[in-house]
Every structure is written in C-alpha cells, then in structure tokens.
Amino acid sequence: MATNLVQPLDQSLAQLYCPMCAANGTPDVPLVREMHIVKCAFGHQYSSVSEAVARGAKMVPLPLNEQPPITSIKWPVWVHPKVKELLESRYRGRLIATLDSVLGSLADGNVLILTGKDVEKLKKRGLSNGSQIVAAFDAMDNADKERQEMQSKLERYESIFREAGIGG
Ligand SMILES: [Zn+2]
C-alpha cells in the first residue's frame, strides 16, 4: 500500500547541497535547477546535476515524515535497536510502505526468505530479485529441453544411418 510524504518534493530543488559553499564552511545550501543549469543562492553555478555531484555535492536527505495509509493501524513490535536504526536509515521516507509490504507478504505465507551468503551468491550471478531468479530457471529449462530435442534428433539420425548400413 502506498504511503504519502507530507511535503511533496519541490521539483525545482536539485536535492543536492552546493559543494562550493560546503568548501567555504556552509554545508547546507541547497542547489536549485534553473533551465539546464543548477545554482545556489550565493551564485555558484554548475552546468548540470552530474557536474555538481562530480564536484562533491552531497544529497539532501529525504524528508522523514512519511504518513501511514489511513487503513493501517499502529503496531508496536520488538526489534533490536540496531536493526531499527539500520532500517530507518536504509528506508528513509519509505519505511512504513516497505514494512507494510514485507509484513503483507509474510502474512499471506507465499514468501521465500533469502539471507546473507545465499543472497551474495545470487547477486554475483546477476540475480537480485524474484523475477530474475525465475527467468534464470526458465532459461535453464529451455536449455534442457533443447538439449533433449537435440539428443532425440541425434538418436533418430543414428537409427536411420544404421538401417541404411552407414556407420555403427
Ligand atoms: Zn554555493
């Protein structure tokens, strides 16, 4: 279920802080888009967002005031404080929506949980979500089917050759 941010992101803000201002000791001056360039209130200009990033611009953190869907209830749960801290920083501004979707999957029982080393191995093979894993197995099935078709074709030819008195 989608949640809402109280403040919609201002499209003119580049969501970056001016790196030149930061170098001068004022790290929180926002950059604003103006046509194709971005600039700060003190006249520093960058030809693009990527130039500002290349010059060390830091991201403006997303707002923390995510609002729950009106159909949801609040439920206190037991969790290690470090886990809470990591979740809050990793899913900043979308924690309620993320937990809602994870808990929903756990509740309907149709869920596979992969962790640690297994996830690492899958990611090394370029698989980072369920649909990629399913696609990989489908490709394997297809390869297997093709191999079987080849094999039976080969056997057919062999028997034709045998009947014709050629080869084995
Ligand atoms: Zn500046």
Any idea where the domains of the chain sit in the sequence?
1-111, 124-163
Q: What is the pLDDT of residue 10?
A: 60
Average pLDDT, the chain: 86
Q: For the residues 87-97, what does the mean pLDDT come to?
A: 87
Strand order across the 30-34 sheet: 13-17, 30-34, 37-39, 45-46
Output the six-digit token pair for 59: 């991201």
Per-residue model confidence (pLDDT) at position 165: 83
Start-end of H helices in the chain: 19-23, 49-54, 81-90, 95-108, 116-124, 130-163
Report yes or no: 11 and 78 within 8 Å, Cβ to Cβ.
no
| CA angle in degrees (0–180, nearest 5) for 1-129-61 | 60
167 pLDDT band (50/70/90 cuts)? low
Residue whose entry in the numeric block shows the structure tokens 């520093």: 44
Q: Which residues surround ligand 1, an ion (CB under 5 A)?
A: 18, 20-21, 40, 42, 44
pLDDT at res. 92: 82
Predicted local confidence at residue 11, as pLDDT: 61
At 10-20, the pLDDT tens digits run 667 778 899 99
pLDDT digits (tens, 9 = 90+) for 114-159: 888 999 999 998 888 888 999 999 999 999 999 999 999 999 988 8
3-class state of residue 162 by DSSP: helix
> What's residue 1's pLDDT?
47
**Interval between CA 45 and ligand 1 midpoint (Å):** 8
Q: 69 C-alpha to center of ligand 1: Å?
A: 38
Q: Residues 114-145, buried b or exposed e (16+ Cβ, 10 A)?
A: eeeeeeeebeeeebeeeeeeeeeeeeeeeeee
The pLDDT score that the predictor gives to residue 12 is: 72
Which pLDDT does position 124 carry in this prediction?
92
